[in-house]
């Protein structure tokens, strides 16, 4: 079964869709914000794509990524989708377009992540969650089974707690939300915030899961970027997130990167110490059956590695940790479900036996997710 466990809804808009959307709009109110953030990240202003010849091709060159870049540069590119598709509580158009893009990839099961805009009120958030859930429900068919994941910011905790309560309330009040919304995901700039700040939040959330007929899974972006933290702190972040009781680690690239390729100038004793720490954490995750979502193209571009042989997926998979593949933001990284599999074979040298292991892990995660999810009665999953 073709499964995408890690997709961001606004990362699914192709350059062609973005270009056509810009042509449809009489005004792009957030263009100035996009241009400012883009220039800060890239050192140059973006082109106004609709006023030049070959605008679509220029958009593709400026707002898709195929070589290593910083997280700030990635975020500035992602911002174009936000500028062109402003979130409106009752408007299903962005979700419908993104879902069709995923379906066109031949994916059968997909979890797409979406944020609740920070400027939404409680009532707007409730309308928004109901609208999204109905868009997902309407997209269900015999061969396509999408599910909604709401992304929460890493901090501040007052906002995290508020949006969490809004999600729980929407699930209580609306059966379609309860059917379609399966998980919460922590995403954004992970390096600024210590996961241990969320210990009280997760104790409460896990307790509420045990008391409800509609439990939520929890995912957490961690170990994806570590230029500010450093390798040791980034490694401990992964362990700290795992100890919060999350169901999946998103990326965790720091566990798979050969440290000698990053720490060449460090003393040998320091490298050996950090390698031992990396191995210790990997061994613990393997024993406990922890699942890591790996996004090969995205991890190649954002992890700061320069050689394919240093790609974190290789070590993660060969350590025995359970890994599932996904394409993260397929339109931005010029990829898709099948392209990621080709990337694994042709760029990383992953063997057919290892590809079979990845398929087995995906199947296990899919059925484990559905088996403990009472919402499976709502939309056929082909079982």
Has residue 102 been placed in a domain? yes
For the chain, the domain total comes to 1
280-310 CB burial, b ≥16 within 10 A, e <16: ebbeebeeeebbbbbbbbbbbbbbbbeeeeb
Q: Residue 23's CB: how many other CB atoms inside 10 A?
A: 11
For 234-286, the pLDDT digits (tens) are 999 999 999 999 999 999 999 999 999 888 899 999 999 999 999 999 999 99
Has residue 326 been placed in a domain? yes
For 74-88, the pLDDT digits (tens) are 999 999 999 999 999
Query: How far apart are alpha carbons 337 and 325 in whole angstroms?
Result: 8
What is the pTM for the complete model shown?
A: 0.94
Query: How far apart are alpha carbons 160 and 227 in whole angstroms?
Result: 25
- Check which CATH number belongs to the domain holding 98 and give it: 3.20.20.140
User: What confidence category does residue 371 fall into, taking pLDDT thresholds of 50, 70 and 90?
Assistant: low
Has residue 230 been placed in a domain? yes
Has residue 381 been placed in a domain? no
DSSP H helical segments within 199-255, as ranges? 199-210, 231-242
Query: How far apart are alpha carbons 281 and 343 in whole angstroms?
Result: 27
Has residue 291 been placed in a domain? yes
Query: How far apart are alpha carbons 162 and 113 in whole angstroms?
Result: 18
Count the residues in the chain: 383
Please report, in angstroms and rounded to a whole number, the separation of the first and last CA atoms in the chain: 11
Q: Taking a C-beta distance cutoff of 8 angstroms, is the pair 198, 244 a contact?
A: yes
The secondary structure element, H or E, covering residue 337 is helix 337-346
Find the mean pLDDT for residues 46-52: 96
Has residue 212 been placed in a domain? yes
The domain of 282 spans 3-376
Above 70 in pLDDT, residue 203?
Answer: yes
Has residue 267 been placed in a domain? yes
Above 80 in pLDDT, residue 375?
Answer: no
Q: Is the peptide bond before 156 cis (omega within 30 degrees of 0)?
A: yes
Query: How far apart are alpha carbons 322 and 317 in whole angstroms?
Result: 7
- Strand ranges (E), the chain: 3-8, 109-115, 145-153, 181-187, 217-222, 248-251, 291-294, 322-325
């Amino acid at each position: 079964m073709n499964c995408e466990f890690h997709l961001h809804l606004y990362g699914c808009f192709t350059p062609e869709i973005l270009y056509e959307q810009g042509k449809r709009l009489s005004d792009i109110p957030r263009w100035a914000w996009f241009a400012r953030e883009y220039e800060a990240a890239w050192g140059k202003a973006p082109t106004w794509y609709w006023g030049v010849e070959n605008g679509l091709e220029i958009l593709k060159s400026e707002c898709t990524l195929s070589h290593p870049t910083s997280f700030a540069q990635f975020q500035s590119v992602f911002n174009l989708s936000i500028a062109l598709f402003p979130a409106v509580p009752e408007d299903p158009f962005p979700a419908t377009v993104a879902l069709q893009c995923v379906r066109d990839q031949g994916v059968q099961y997909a979890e797409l992540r979406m944020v609740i805009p920070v400027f939404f009120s409680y009532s707007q958030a409730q309308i928004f969650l109901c609208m999204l859930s109905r868009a997902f429900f309407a997209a269900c068919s015999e061969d396509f089974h999408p599910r909604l994941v709401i992304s929460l910011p890493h901090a501040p905790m007052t906002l995290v707690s508020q949006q969490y309560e809004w999600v729980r309330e929407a699930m209580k009040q609306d059966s379609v939300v309860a059917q379609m919304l399966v998980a919460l995901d922590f995403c954004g700039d992970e390096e600024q915030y210590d996961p241990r700040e969320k210990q009280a939040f997760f104790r409460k959330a896990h307790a509420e899961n045990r008391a409800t007929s509609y439990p939520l899974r929890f995912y957490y972006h961690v170990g994806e970027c570590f230029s500010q933290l450093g390798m040791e702190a980034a490694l401990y972040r992964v362990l700290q997130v795992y100890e919060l009781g999350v169901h999946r680690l998103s990326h965790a690239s720091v566990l798979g990167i050969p440290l000698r390729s990053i720490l060449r100038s460090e003393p040998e004793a320091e490298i050996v110490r950090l390698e031992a720490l990396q191995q210790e954490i990997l061994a613990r995750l393997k024993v406990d059956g922890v699942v890591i979502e790996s996004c090969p193209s995205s991890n190649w571009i954002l992890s700061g590695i320069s050689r394919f042989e240093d790609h974190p997926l290789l070590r993660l998979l060969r350590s025995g940790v359970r890994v599932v593949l996904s394409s993260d933001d397929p339109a931005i990284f010029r990829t898709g479900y099948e392209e990621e599999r080709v990337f694994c074979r042709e760029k990383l040298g992953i063997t057919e036996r290892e590809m079979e292991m990845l398929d087995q892990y995906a199947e296990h995660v899919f059925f484990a997710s559905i088996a403990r999810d009472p919402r499976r009665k709502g939309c056929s999953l082909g079982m």
